[in-house]
């Protein structure tokens, strides 16, 4: 491949100074690179007059070492987004290539990244794709194992990334495993989450992570039960899940036997006579729930946790959250993707908006009780994403008995229905939200009622002006709820 750096540049102030050394920390030193790039551009050093040293003491040249930053650079958005996706690459030339890109962009080639045929652009895009693949592998194939001891649940995982991606990958695991303490150990560094902040530390060792825990047997059983022998494709399996990751993934122990049995199981599936699908009767399910007769909220929650989802696929039941005797109870529709993963209600984007609106309305979320009409996440799988799917009236009816008993145990003064599904669960019939927004009597209930929109409705509005107006109206509804509760 020909050189991707500019050749025969014009003389500049930087050239008169000779070669400048930019010394950066090992790994992905994004902060150091940004500071060095600003200083070098400000001083006018062309790319071929810069020596990038990683984790080494300077001294090869007599010129000043670049350690401090200069004024901010005005870069196209695409360039600014590309830089943090290339810095973690293991290629020792990554900083020189990125600086060459910045140099050319700041000297007039603002649309350089759109030129796919440019050798520099082509190489940087390949590096960006490699980082994307490595992040995907870490997200998909890292496995936490329980560590004994500690006040909170504590887990640890071992992973060997191809590139310096630990810091870039950490936010993904914070979002999904916020409820417990965890550590991710790699040969180059470690990340530790304590429920509030992520700390990065020295390299770890594979033997510092437990070999297994009690959860893995169940996970392996689930993996075996979902394996489809009729769709076995070894090349696709190896491409998506390379064998280098197998030693840290408990489910891979089952793969050899599953592959050996695939042909026989496929034949058995073909020869098996067809069966009619099993349909559940919501009325019978509700009658069965009534026979359970829990005497406390804890007993009710234990029943909910043991029950299978009406629509398969949910990770876990998401229970209500808040104090018994709360003056205000909020009822939403059903858990979303983040709620299903974390096991807590209203922690996803809509939940974060809800918490902000409560604060602006003068309400404290910790003093209120928050739950959902439906306790399990219903979704449609699209690629790697789980897309929320609205529950049917039958599914709402299935969960309604649980909701009624739950509110009996909590004993709120006022219950707020967030959206149409919550209204259906509380009223037992469809009620138009627009015409009935505000105080509402849910017939026969021992509490005041109030109807408003679900926070997710605000997120779906495409127009910013309409979104701002709808949010202000929602906050005003919450203020009215607070007044009614006093």
What does the pLDDT look like over 76-120, one tens digit per residue? 999 999 999 999 999 999 999 999 999 999 999 999 999 999 999
Q: Assess whether pLDDT exceeds 60 at residue 289.
A: no
pLDDT of residue 238: 74
pLDDT of residue 275: 63
Q: Assess whether pLDDT exceeds 80 at residue 74.
A: yes
In SS3 terms, the chain reads as CCCCCCCCCCCCHHHHCCCEEEEECCCCCHHHHHHHHHHHHHHCCCHHHEEEEECCCCCCCCCCEECCCCCCCCCCHHHHHHHHHHCCCCCCCHHHHHHHHHHHHHCCCCCHHHCCCCHHHHHHHHHHHHHHHHHHHHHHHCCCEECCCCCCCEEEEECCCCCCCHHHHHHHHHHHCCCCEEEEECCCCEEEECCCCEEEECCCCHHHCCCCCHHHHHHHHHHHHHCCHHHCCHHHHHHHCCHHHHHHCHHHHHHHHHHHHHHHHHHHHHHCCCCCCCCCCHHHHHHHHHCCCCCCHHHHHHHHHHCCCCCCCCCCCCCCECCCCCCEEEEECCCCHHHHHHCCCCCCHHHHHHHHHHHHCCCCHHHCEEEECCCCCCEEEECCEEEECCCCHHHHHHHHHHHHHHHHHHCCCEEEEECHHHHHHHHCCCCCHHHHCEEECCCCCCCEEEEECCHHHHHHCCCHHHHHHHHHHHHHHHHHHHHHHC
Domain architecture of the chain: domains with CATH? 13-136 (no CATH), 142-208 (no CATH), 214-271 (no CATH), 282-485 (3.40.470.10)
Query: Which of the four pLDDT bands, split at 50, 70 and 90, describes residue 69?
Result: low
325 vs 8, which has greater pLDDT?
Answer: 325
Burial 231-247 (b: 16+ CB within 10 A, else e): eeeeeeeeeebeeebee
Closest C-alpha among 223, 220, 228 to residue 265: 228
**What is the pLDDT of the chain when averaged over all its residues?**
85
What does the pLDDT look like over 229-254, one tens digit per residue? 878 787 877 777 777 777 777 777 77
Question: With pLDDT > 90 as the criterion, what percentage of the chain qualifies?
Answer: 57
Q: Assess whether pLDDT exceeds 70 at residue 60.
A: no
Mean pLDDT is lowest, of 40-44, 293-297, 355-359, for 293-297
Query: Which of the four pLDDT bands, split at 50, 70 and 90, describes residue 277?
Result: low
pLDDT of residue 278: 57
151 vs 181, which has greater pLDDT?
Answer: 181
pLDDT of residue 279: 59
Average confidence (pLDDT) over 324-329: 96
pLDDT of residue 58: 46
pLDDT of residue 19: 83
pLDDT of residue 482: 95
163 neighbors 134 (Cβ within 8 angstroms)? yes
Q: Assess whether pLDDT exceeds 60 at residue 216.
A: yes
Query: Which of the four pLDDT bands, split at 50, 70 and 90, describes residue 62?
Result: very low
What does the pLDDT look like over 443-459, one tens digit per residue? 888 999 999 999 999 99
């Amino acid at each position: 491949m020909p050189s991707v750096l500019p050749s025969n540049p014009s003389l500049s102030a930087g050239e008169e100074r000779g070669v400048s050394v930019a010394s950066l920390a090992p790994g992905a030193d994004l902060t150091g690179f940004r500071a060095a790039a600003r200083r070098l551009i400000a001083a006018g050093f062309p790319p071929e007059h810069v020596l990038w040293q990683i984790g080494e003491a300077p001294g090869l040249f007599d010129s000043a070492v670049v350690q401090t930053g200069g004024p901010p650079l005005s870069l196209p958005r695409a360039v600014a987004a590309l830089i943090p996706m290339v810095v973690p690459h293991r290629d020792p030339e990554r900083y020189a290539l990125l600086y060459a890109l910045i140099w050319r962009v700041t000297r007039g080639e603002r649309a350089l990244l759109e030129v796919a045929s440019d050798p520099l652009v082509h190489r940087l895009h390949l590096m960006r794709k490699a980082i994307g693949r490595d992040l995907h592998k870490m997200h998909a194939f890292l496995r936490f194992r329980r560590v004994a001891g500690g006040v909170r649940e504590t887990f640890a995982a071992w992973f060997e990334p191809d590139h310096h991606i630990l810091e870039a990958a950490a936010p993904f695991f914070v979002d999904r495993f916020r409820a417990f303490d965890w550590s991710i150990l790699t040969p180059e560094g470690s990340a530790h989450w304590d429920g509030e902040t992520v700390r990065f530390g020295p390299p770890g060792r594979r033997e510092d992570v437990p070999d297994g825990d009690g959860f893995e047997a169940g996970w392996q059983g689930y993996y075996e039960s979902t394996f489809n022998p009729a769709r076995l494709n070894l090349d696709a399996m190896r491409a998506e899940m390379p064998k280098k990751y197998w030693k840290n993934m408990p489910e891979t122990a089952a793969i050899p036997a599953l592959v050996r049995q695939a042909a026989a199981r496929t034949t058995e599936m073909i020869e098996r006579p067809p069966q009619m699908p099993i349909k559940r009767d919501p009325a019978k399910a509700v009658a069965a729930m009534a026979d359970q007769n829990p005497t406390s909220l804890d007993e009710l929650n234990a029943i909910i946790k043991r029950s299978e989802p009406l629509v398969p696929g949910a990770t876990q039941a998401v229970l209500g959250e808040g104090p018994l005797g709360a003056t205000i109870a909020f009822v939403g529709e059903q858990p979303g993707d983040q709620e299903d993963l974390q096991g807590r209600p209203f922690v996803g984007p809509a939940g974060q908006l809800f918490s902000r609106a409560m604060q602006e309305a003068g309400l404290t979320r910790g003093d209120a009780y928050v739950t959902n009409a439906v306790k399990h996440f219903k979704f449609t799988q699209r690629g790697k994403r789980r897309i929320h799917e609205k529950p049917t009236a039958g599914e709402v009816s299935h969960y309604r008995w649980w909701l009624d008993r739950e509110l009996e145990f909590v004993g709120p003064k006022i219950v707020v229905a967030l959206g149409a599904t919550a209204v259906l669960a509380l009223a037992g019939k469809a009620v138009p939200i627009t015409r009935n927004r505000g105080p509402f009597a849910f017939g026969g209930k021992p509490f005041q009622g109030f109807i408003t929109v679900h926070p997710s409705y605000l997120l779906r509005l495409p127009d910013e002006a309409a979104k701002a107006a709808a949010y202000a109206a929602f906050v005003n509804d919450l203020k009215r709820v607070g007044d009614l509760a006093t």
